[in-house]
Amino acid sequence: MFENIYGNRKTVENLKNSIESDRVSHCYLFSGEKGLGKRTIAKAFAKALLCEGEEGMRPCNKCRACVKVDKEEHHDLIFVGHEKPNTFGVEDIRDGLNRDIVIRPNEAKRKIYIIDDAELLNVQAQNAMLKTIEEPPEYAVIMLLSDNKESFLPTVLSRCVEFNMMSVKDRELIAALKERNLYEEVMESYITEFAGGNIGRAIRLLTDEVYREKVTNVDKVLQELPRMGINDIREALPLLGGREDMDMVLSRMQVYFGNLLKLKATDSQTARGDIARQYSYEDFPRIFGEIEHFRVRMKVNVNADLSLELLLDAMRPKA
């Protein structure tokens, strides 16, 4: 019934059960890095909640309501957006959620709000939202989608039923690509390694040229690192640029050094093997630790460029 959802079986089961037993909550939080399908699952759940098909068979994917949800044209499915690119402010919540939610549903029994980029909600916006999620109208369901749940006030978190989106198995990833006619056998091992179970990331690699170029740049910078001085690193920063794809950059780094360690252990006589030999065995755990450290620091919003510079510097072989 929840078609097109790969992996995340437990979450899907939970959501299905909540519908079947009529125990739907008023507030949900779907969390997980970009590309893991938060929006896909939220939309499928919304579709099931708004579906006019036979009970126990929802979403039927055929009725008027299902078709409208697919096209994002259902009047009782509202996507709450934000005006400024990097913040979700109090006005966005007042206009998009608080003022609208008091109006009864247009055509369905429920009214559903999907708030994407919820990690950008500032404290005032969260406080403005709090009153609504504390006492929502009985017909309302609010779904927060976020790649960083650390950004929420505990009072908001405690009101939400939370689901963590998980990466999928390689065979599920491949099935998802086949379904979209994006699968190419020759690319299989590269793509599964690159995506690490993140379907969205694989799709982007295969469909977005600018993104693909960025990935190539990350790989180039990593390979050049042993030869780079601190000035070269500073010059290379814009190539990896911006917070927005940092998940990809960090996972790329992890995969790269994981492979390098294997090449070192097998004393590979390739160009990559030569790079690997420039690192000592002590370098690897240190580098993996730095990547994790950086990941944590990103979540608390430190100056991304500066810490990326430090990270790359720490990734050079220490003689």
- Residues near Zn ion (CB under 5 A): 51, 53, 59-60, 63, 66
In the complex, the smallest distance separating the C-beta of residue 2 from Zn ion, rounded to whole angstroms, is 12
In the complex, the smallest distance separating the C-beta of residue 54 from Zn ion, rounded to whole angstroms, is 9
- Closer of 66 and 140 to Zn ion (Cβ): 66
118 with 133: CB under 8 angstroms?
A: no
Interatomic CA distance for residues 154 and 147, integer angstroms: 16
- Closer of 66 and 315 to Zn ion (Cβ): 66
- Closer of 59 and 196 to Zn ion (Cβ): 59
In the complex, the smallest distance separating the C-beta of residue 107 from Zn ion, rounded to whole angstroms, is 13
91 with 83: CB under 8 angstroms?
A: yes
Q: Which residues pair with 135 in a beta bridge?
A: none
143 with 113: CB under 8 angstroms?
A: yes
In the complex, the smallest distance separating the C-beta of residue 112 from Zn ion, rounded to whole angstroms, is 14
- Closer of 50 and 221 to Zn ion (Cβ): 50
In the complex, the smallest distance separating the C-beta of residue 74 from Zn ion, rounded to whole angstroms, is 11
- Closer of 66 and 202 to Zn ion (Cβ): 66
Name every residue whose Cβ is closer than 8 Å to that of residue 306 and which is 6 or more positions away in sequence: none
- Spatial CA neighbour of 263 closest among 252, 275, 245: 275
- Spatial CA neighbour of 80 closest among 67, 69, 90, 95: 95
